């Protein structure tokens, strides 16, 4: 039940290939077919009525692969108690976009479909002539209070030029002005036991100079096997992206913004990360630490498992990057100071001379992450609307209720509402946490994404734990979210590259350049070699990635988005 993962690299942004979709032929005799096809529709037609015989029910097609058990305990609750709707699920097999193309060209889905928000899916759905426009249902507070409670700014940005809205948005922040910060994890993580051994405290690490002093002292310490400690390390994962990699925790301290589109707005100007002078300064510092043997000399070549093993065996005194890359099980499986993992703790980004504000490494996008599309041929519209009106009730705990049932059924509050919680049904808990997808599917379809979330209470920051170490990841992420590197998204963070444009064409090469030169920056033998490498990097950006053209296209895309949708 984590937030939608938005760690896509800003340099690797690209559109999925546009689906080759033939407009589906809708069956004759449906009084609601008239011109309900995307922006060509001239108005919102009357909706078909719900199923007048038998209990309310509908089929929901999931735009992802999942283990389905339509007899799960949570689905039984929905059917028999609240909201009184039977939800029959169908999962996608294989690639979701290919499955959507096939579904559209073979008559469409029966009732409703939910997909992660995606412009390619949206375009295919709208051009299919198979979905209902839904704007009227968001303005019926007496009948559908949950739908009416959706923040209006989300709905406004969903309207086409004729004012139609073609999906029910889900998985959004109930309060866009105070969004939940997400699982923030890009940080500086120190071994407090080593800190104590060298006679320092966390306060001594508030500056980059203090960190350097600690690294030099840590290099003189030994691990349990008698080997010298590796003062500092991070994971240079070959599968990471420009927007999500461990080095970004260092760039953050140096004031470089790497999240979203990798763009910081300073006054009226936009500054791209690669052009920020502090980008160079950050890698110069890393190079200095590497040459002084204060960074693990194998950092460039270590694989993820080797990196984790070094942390597990207590070889590293300070890590930078995502603490999840270190392997959270190092502390989550402990109940006290019995192993090295117990002593890990996050510290604020150290202050760097000349840097007034740390960079942004994560933007919090409160906007919807999923869309529910409704077939215009459905005979179960009332069931669909009633179910999503229920799931979108604006209660802080609603994602937990949708995922696990209401409080008092399979789980309950430990002390008070919106406090700690735990499972109260041992059978449910055992199946839910078994690690086996088929067993989990017996109790819950795990459809948290049909609901919304709220910073006032997030379930997986508040679950009661059996081991003290299991609470550390929650504590770490809450702390990192307050260190200045996380902010709410603006529209310039969320731009989609122009289809067939320069950014789409050259983004893969831009990412190749980043990965190629980060290692060269780190291992430059002296200052002169670093300067030579930096010049080669800048030349490669222009010659291989057409960097100036990419930035110009980005600016034009931004200006067009502001003209069409306004700025936020």
- pLDDT higher for 534 or 31? 534
In the predicted structure, residue 427 carries a pLDDT above the cut 60: yes
| Predicted pLDDT of residue 224 | 86
Query: What does CATH list as the number for 57-178+367-461?
Result: 3.40.190.10
| Predicted pLDDT of residue 168 | 98
**394 confidence band (pLDDT: 50, 70, 90):** very high
| Predicted pLDDT of residue 342 | 97
Rounded to whole angstroms, how far apart are CA atoms 192 and 200?
Answer: 9
| Predicted pLDDT of residue 95 | 87
Query: What does CATH list as the number for 186-363+486-493?
Result: 3.40.190.10
Phi, psi of 273 (to 5 degrees): -55, -45
- What SS3 state is found at 381? helix
Rounded to whole angstroms, how far apart are CA atoms 342 and 323?
Answer: 13
Rounded to whole angstroms, how far apart are CA atoms 182 and 79?
Answer: 32
Residue 136 is encoded by which pair of tokens?
């009227």
In the predicted structure, residue 71 carries a pLDDT above the cut 50: yes
| Predicted pLDDT of residue 42 | 32
| Predicted pLDDT of residue 264 | 92
Domain boundaries, the chain: 57-178+367-461, 186-363+486-493, 495-567
Over residues 5-18, the mean pLDDT reads 35
| Predicted pLDDT of residue 178 | 87
In the predicted structure, residue 334 carries a pLDDT above the cut 90: yes
Tokens 């866009």, residue?
A: 176
Counting residues of the chain whose pLDDT is more than 70, the rounded percentage is: 90
In the predicted structure, residue 10 carries a pLDDT above the cut 80: no
43-47, 276-280, 323-327, 339-343: the lowest-pLDDT one: 43-47
Angle subtended at Cα 10 by Cα 16 and Cα 94, rounded to the nearest 5 degrees: 30
Task: Give tens-digit pLDDT for 239-277.
Answer: 899 999 999 999 999 999 999 889 999 888 999 999 999
Other CB atoms within a 10 A radius of the CB of residue 527 amount to 12
In the predicted structure, residue 309 carries a pLDDT above the cut 70: yes
| Predicted pLDDT of residue 54 | 65
In the predicted structure, residue 3 carries a pLDDT above the cut 80: no
The mean of the pLDDT values for the chain is: 90
Q: Is the peptide bond before 544 cis (omega within 30 degrees of 0)?
A: no
Over residues 150-169, the mean pLDDT reads 95
Task: Please answer whether residues 503 and 9 qualify as being in contact, where contact means their C-beta atoms are separated by less than 8 angstroms.
Answer: no
| Predicted pLDDT of residue 14 | 32
Task: Please answer whether residues 274 and 247 qualify as being in contact, where contact means their C-beta atoms are separated by less than 8 angstroms.
Answer: no
CA 138 to chain centre: 26
| Predicted pLDDT of residue 181 | 86
In the predicted structure, residue 498 carries a pLDDT above the cut 90: no
Task: Give tens-digit pLDDT for 40-67.
Answer: 333 334 444 444 456 899 999 999 999 9
Which residues have a Cβ under 8 Å from the Cβ of 76 and sit 6 or more positions away? none
Over residues 101-128, the mean pLDDT reads 93
Strands (E), 56-147: 56-62, 85-90, 112-116
In the predicted structure, residue 565 carries a pLDDT above the cut 90: no
| Predicted pLDDT of residue 539 | 98
DSSP letter at 564? H
Rg (CA), the chain: 26
| Predicted pLDDT of residue 9 | 38
Strand ordering across the sheet containing 85-90:
85-90, 56-62, 112-116, 370-374, 168-170
Task: Please answer whether residues 284 and 530 qualify as being in contact, where contact means their C-beta atoms are separated by less than 8 angstroms.
Answer: yes
| Predicted pLDDT of residue 53 | 54
């Amino acid at each position: 039940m984590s937030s939608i993962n938005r760690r896509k690299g800003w340099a690797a942004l690209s559109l999925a290939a546009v689906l080759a979709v033939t407009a589906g032929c809708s069956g004759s005799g449906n009084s609601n077919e008239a011109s309900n096809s995307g922006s060509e529709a001239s108005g919102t037609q009357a909706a078909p009525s719900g199923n007048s015989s038998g209990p309310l029910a509908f089929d929901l097609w999931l735009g992802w692969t999942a283990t389905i058990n339509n007899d799960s305990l949570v689905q039984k609750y929905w059917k028999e108690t609240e909201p009184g709707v039977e939800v029959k699920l169908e999962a996608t097999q294989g690639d979701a976009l290919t499955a959507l193309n096939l579904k559209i060209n073979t008559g469409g889905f029966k009732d409703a479909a939910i997909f992660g928000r995606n412009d390619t899916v949206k375009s295919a759905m709208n051009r299919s002539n198979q979905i209902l426009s839904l704007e009227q249902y968001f303005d019926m507070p007496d009948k559908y209070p949950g739908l009416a409670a959706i923040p209006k700014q989300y709905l406004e940005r969903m309207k086409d030029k004729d004012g139609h809205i073609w999906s029910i948005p889900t998985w959004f922040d109930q309060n866009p002005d105070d969004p939940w910060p997400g699982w923030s994890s890009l940080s500086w993580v120190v071994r407090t036991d080593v800190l104590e051994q060298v006679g320092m405290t966390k306060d001594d690490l508030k500056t980059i100079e203090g960190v350097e002093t600690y690294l030099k002292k840590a290099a003189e310490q030994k691990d349990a096997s008698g080997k010298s400690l590796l003062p500092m390390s991070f994971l240079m994962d070959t599968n990471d992206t420009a927007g999500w990699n461990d080095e970004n925790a260092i760039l953050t301290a140096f004031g470089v913004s790497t999240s979203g589109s990798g763009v910081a707005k300073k006054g009226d100007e936009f500054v791209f990360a690669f052009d920020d002078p502090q980008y160079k300064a950050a890698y110069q510092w890393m190079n200095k630490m590497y040459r002084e043997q204060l960074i693990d000399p194998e950092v460039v070549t270590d694989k993820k498992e080797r990196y984790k093993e070094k942390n597990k065996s207590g070889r590293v005194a300070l890590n930078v990057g995502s603490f999840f890359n270190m392997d959270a099980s190092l502390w989550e499986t402990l109940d006290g100071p019995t192993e090295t993992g117990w002593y890990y703790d996050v510290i604020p980004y150290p202050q760097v001379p000349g840097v007034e504000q740390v960079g942004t490494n994560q933007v919090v996008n409160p906007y919807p992450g999923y869309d529910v599309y409704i077939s215009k041929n459905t005979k179960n519209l009332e069931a669909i609307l009633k179910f999503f009106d229920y799931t979108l009730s604006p209660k802080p705990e609603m994602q937990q209720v949708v995922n696990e049932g209401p409080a008092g059924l399979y789980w309950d509050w430990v002390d008070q509402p919106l406090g700690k919680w735990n499972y109260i049904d041992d059978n449910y808990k055992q199946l839910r946490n078994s690690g086996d997808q088929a067993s989990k599917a017996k109790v819950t379809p795990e459809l948290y994404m049909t609901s919304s979330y709220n910073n006032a209470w997030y379930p997986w920051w508040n679950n009661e734990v059996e081991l003290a170490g299991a609470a550390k990841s929650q504590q770490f992420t809450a702390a990192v979210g307050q260190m200045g590197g996380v902010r709410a998204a603006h529209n310039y963070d969320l731009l989609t590259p122009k289809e067939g444009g320069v950014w789409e064409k050259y983004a893969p090469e831009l990412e190749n350049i980043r990965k190629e030169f980060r290692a060269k920056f780190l291992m430059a033998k002296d200052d002169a070699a670093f300067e030579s490498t930096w010049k080669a990097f800048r030349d490669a950006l222009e010659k291989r990635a057409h960097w100036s053209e990419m930035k110009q296209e980005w600016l034009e895309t931004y200006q067009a988005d502001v003209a069409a949708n306004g700025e936020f």
